[in-house]
Structure 1
Amino acid sequence: MIIDSLENIEFYRSVNNDFYQGLLFIKNSSPDIELGEYPLTATAKALVMEYETNYQNTFGYEAHRNLIDIQYCIKGTERIPWSHLSRLTPYTEYDLVKDVTFYKWTEKQGEVIIGDGVFSIFYPTDAHAPVFCTDEPTLIRKIVIKVSI
């Protein structure tokens, strides 16, 4: 997992072009960007979504096998607990179409607050539990860059 600032985008130019293009998309997006899917490269796309954060999530952790998530709140902030897969127990079978498995809630290994210039990159072993509010429940607009691996 990576937690970093949008100020460091140029570093990712030499790390991975999909990461770099995704972070540029985030940096250049307005908080009023339309919801939906935006193709970025042959192996990366941006999903713009909006939802209400809460004090808890009802589905536990999620993890992907074939995707890396870069997550950033373009409007508002979100607290995302995370844990390494080795600490978790799945409660769903792997969904090949959606590339996701859901895991039972257990004590977090750590957490990140995204937004206000801070993004996070979740690799396939980084189970994450989005939807948590930072102070009080609020409507957020979030960009998730999906990078195929």
Structure 2
Amino acid sequence: MIYGKLQDLEKMVLEEKLQAGLAFLKEHDFSNESLGVHEIDENSFFVVIEYDTKEKEKCFWESHRANLDLHYIIEGNEKIAIKHIDQLVMKEPYNTEKDAIIFEGEIESTIAMNPGDAMICFPEDGHMTGIALNSLSKVRKIVLKLKV
């Protein structure tokens, strides 16, 4: 997992496709993008998502195998819990169509995500999104999916 402000992450020495993904997020105007999936190329796509945050008990752990996630907050705020998948218990096996494994487990650490924040979750990073930060909030975010 890598976390920080988008402009700071760009300064890191990262794999070329991660650098390209960060540049795409910085340069692309998402204000008129409709909700849902938008293909970029054969190795990447992004999803525009809006939702209301909720109590942690109503959220779930997940990880992915085929793609890494690059979460980028446009509006609102949330907490994202993060934990290595070795420390979680599989609840639902890998779903190829959704590229997701669902887990159960305790939350030990969270990251507060505000507009302009970005988080990269690798396949070994279990993550739980949508957790209310201080109060319930509407979140608009981009999840950039990059094939691993």
Q: Shared fold (TM-score greater than 0.5)?
A: yes
Post-superposition shift, 1:99? 1.1
- 1:55 and 1:136 in contact (8 A); partners too: no
CA-CA distance at 1:39 after TM superposition: 2.0
Give CA-to-partner distance per residue, 1:39-66, whole Å, 9 cap, x none: 2232111100111101224352101111
Q: 1:77 & 1:90 partners in 2: Cα distance?
A: 28
Q: TM-score, normalised by structure 2?
A: 0.87
Q: Does 1:143 align with 2:142?
A: yes
Aligned to 1:25: 24
Q: Quick one: which amino acid aligns to residue 147 of structure 2?
A: S
Instruction: Give the secondary structure class of the aligned counterpart of 1:92.
Output: strand
1:68 aligns with 2:47: no
Change in 2 beyond 3 A, CA 1:59/1:105: farther
Paired with 1:44 and 1:18, the residues of 2 have a C-alpha distance of 9
1:45 paired with 2:50, answer: no
Q: Which structure's residues are more often strand, by fraction?
A: 2
| Residue segments in structure 2 that go unaligned for 5+ positions in a row | none
Name the SS of the counterpart of 1:83 in structure 2: strand
TM-score norm. by structure 1 comes to 0.87
Aligned-pair identity in percent equals: 26
Q: 1:103 to 1:132 in 2, by over 3 A?
A: same
CA RMSD of aligned residues (A): 1.9
